[in-house]
Amino acid sequence: MMRFDHSRGGTPVGLLAELDGLEATIVRYFRLWRDGPRSQAQVWKDFASGLGRAEGQSALQSFDELCGLITRHGRRALISHRIECACLGADESCFANFIASAAEGDREDAMLIATLLVRPDMAPIVTALATDVGMALKRMQLGAARAADLRQPAPALLH
């Protein structure tokens, strides 16, 4: 576990393993994005692989713009743990909750969380981007689940 004396945003609030697939993916991509260009390339590979080149590029652009706006217009800098860390930080949890809420259509909740992350005038913009990103990640998960189903042998039919 990491210790963060300078910001409560890095305080561990749980474990990544406790998150559902969407939220865990959001935290992973957030950490990769914050780690720099080499790690961001992995996000691009995942988006392109899961969504195809054109849709993956669009999703990546939305994710990059979302992270950039939160970085530039945030109320304070968000804290993240290292990529390989099993802990879930408070800021990471908030960010994942924000995107998951937006993707689920809980616009009011997403807007409320957005106002905690950025200036109020930026909240609608980052919420729209969070919706786009969350929906893209959900499509990626559905595609992966379908591919896994196709790889499983068909059950024997008795009748």
Residue 11 in domain: no
Residue 158 in domain: no
Q: Region 117-131: what's the mean pLDDT?
A: 97
Residue 113 in domain: yes
Any idea which of 38-42, 126-130, 155-159 has the lowest mean pLDDT?
155-159
What's the total number of domains in the chain? 1
Q: Region 109-135: what's the mean pLDDT?
A: 97
pTM given for the model: 0.84
* Cα gap 92→97, rounded to integer Å: 8
Q: Which residue range(s) make up the domain with 131?
A: 19-143
Residue 54 in domain: yes
Neighbours of 55 (CB within 10 A): 15
Helix residue spans in the chain (DSSP H)? 21-35, 37-51, 53-73, 90-103, 107-117, 123-151
Q: How far apart are the first and last CA of the chain?
A: 55
Token pair for 120: 């109020």
